[in-house]
Amino acid sequence: MKGKMTDKDKYFEQATQKTGILSDVVKVLNRFVEDYDFAKLNMKQRITELKNSPVPEQNQMEIFDDFNARIEYIRNDSVRSIQDIVKQVKTEISRIIASNLPDGAMDDIQSIERMEGHLTDEDVKAYLNKYRKCYLVTKTLFKSMDTVQAKRLGIDFISADDIIESLESIENVSVNLIKKYNGFVPYEFATMLDGKPIQTVNDAFNSFAKFFM
């Protein structure tokens, strides 16, 4: 009969059901925890078997060496995977930002900047309709609007810089947790295994990409 499901089991099961490009970060973290715990359990089992057999004590060091080598491998492999996923998202953001400006866009950008704080709702709607797929013009427009205009019009702008900052935070936290994990799951790691903060950034990226598609 299968034992009671642990929090780690629940996180792993939830991770397999998540979708979106950043869901792979959650899956990598959960797979790392599973691989680490399995390697640690295997090490303990080998040591127990060693104590019950007339084998030279030196073999215990070999078991530790095997464990450490395995852990080093899965740590490095998991870190590379996290970095690759984040790099992939950053590349897509760069592609969106670097999209070619339509004819006349630079003139309109200068006009928008001159009207900073004095854009009418009609001006905003007209520019958004004309340049909805152009990041640079849209960014300039939102920067030039008054503080309550976007809220009044019911529109929102997600900055690429904000998403990139969040991505780098996810990468740094994930890598740090992978390097420090020893079988215990502190709260910070639990939230990452659960995936909620990562899903928030994933949703922001999806909204950003969809806005400029």
Domain ranges in the chain are: 21-213
pLDDT at 82: 97
pLDDT at 1: 40
pLDDT at 16: 61
pLDDT at 26: 92
Cα–Cα dist 62/69, whole Å: 10
Q: Which residue has the tokens 């998991």?
A: 78
Cα–Cα dist 94/89, whole Å: 9
pLDDT at 55: 59
Question: The pTM is what?
Answer: 0.82
Alpha carbons within 13 angstroms on the beta-carbon side of residue 186 total 9
Sign of CA dihedral 91, 93, 94, 95: positive
For the chain, percent helix, then strand, then coil, each to nearest 5? Answer: 75, 0, 25
pLDDT at 185: 86
pLDDT tens-place values along the chain, 213 residues long: 445 657 666 655 665 666 678 999 999 999 999 999 999 999 999 888 888 876 555 588 889 999 999 999 999 999 999 999 999 999 999 998 887 788 889 999 999 999 998 999 999 999 988 988 899 999 999 999 987 888 888 888 889 999 999 999 999 999 999 999 999 888 888 889 888 889 999 999 998 888 887
